[in-house]
Structure 1
Amino acid sequence: MGRAQGQLSHGIVILDPEGLNGFVNNDPRGAGLVRAAQSRDTSVAVSDLTLVEAWHPKVRMDRFRWHASRLEVPPVTEAISWQAIDLLRNADLHAHKYAIGSVVAATSLGCTGPRIIVTSDVDDIDELCGDRGRAVGV
């Protein structure tokens, strides 16, 4: 007998750097969201740029790699890059400050089903995605 499908089944939860750090550091909110999504057979991902932004010298590399290995890591394709630019342009935001957030948003928008972005910048993600994705704060 299979698992009952939750409201996120066949969608995606994508983590921004703070969401990823919450997962790596076993923060109850961040790690809990990841575990809940995975228990519902929902894809949990991070952009490959998020890995770069989230890493810092106080993070144990073995722990960081182990947690990242539990997630999907879609590459930033040319299509995602152009979508991120369109999101920035439509929201009238500057790439210098919002580049990675726009890539995270564009990555989520390229997926089917419900899209949830776990972020510390809920307002920014809401501005970039509009009603096509949902931001959840960490």
Structure 2
Amino acid sequence: MARRKLIHGGTLVLDSEGLSKLLADDDQVVALVAEARSRGMEVVISALTIIEAVHVRTNRPRLNWVLSGLRVVPVGDEEARAASTLLMEAGLHGHKYAIDAAVAEAALRQQRPVVMLTSDIDDMGKLCAARIRLVAV
């Protein structure tokens, strides 16, 4: 499958799988992040993505180095309420979708155009509708 080109300017958002693959030096994700940066896109993650992606075997120095090159979007009360609204609008609920909703909400607040690297095209599609371009990783 041919890779679609990223748009010039805007924001690239990584979900948990995107961050995990960046940490693992996955060729596809590293190339997409490099291309995004070369096009002037800011690369961001939700603060909750760190919680979801990190585990006991995570290389902490590598994590710190990767995070130093990303903008981490905080999740506060206002963002949590907006994420809850996204869940209701999508007909989803519960902890299974909570972090996805927070990531989607953070993505929707970023400078357009927004592209998200995700392993969950279906759920993110429900949460973001057509407002964000989703790229499977």
TM-score (norm 1): 0.91
Query: What SS class does the counterpart of residue 44 from structure 1 fall into?
Result: strand
Residue by residue over 1:20-53, the C-alpha shift from the partner in whole angstroms, topping out at 9 and shown as x without a partner, is: 0111111011111111111111010011110111
Match of 1:77 in 2: 76
1:108 deviates by: 0.7
Q: Which of structure 1's runs of 4+ aligned residues deviate more than 2 A?
A: none
1:55 deviates by: 0.4
Q: Counterpart of 2:127 in structure 1: which amino acid?
A: L
1:113 deviates by: 1.0
Matched, 1:8 2:5: no
1:105 deviates by: 0.5
Residue by residue over 1:76-99, the C-alpha shift from the partner in whole angstroms, topping out at 9 and shown as x without a partner, is: 132221211111000111131101
Cα-Cα RMSD: 1.2
TM-score (norm 2): 0.91
Provide the aligned length of Structure 1 versus Structure 2.
132
Would you say the 8 A contact 1:8–1:42 is kept in 2?
yes
- Which sections of structure 2, spanning at least 5 residues, go unmatched? 1-5
- Which sections of structure 1, spanning at least 5 residues, go unmatched? 1-5
Percent identity over paired residues: 39
Show the 5 A alignment for 1:1-138: 7-9=7-9, 11-138=10-137
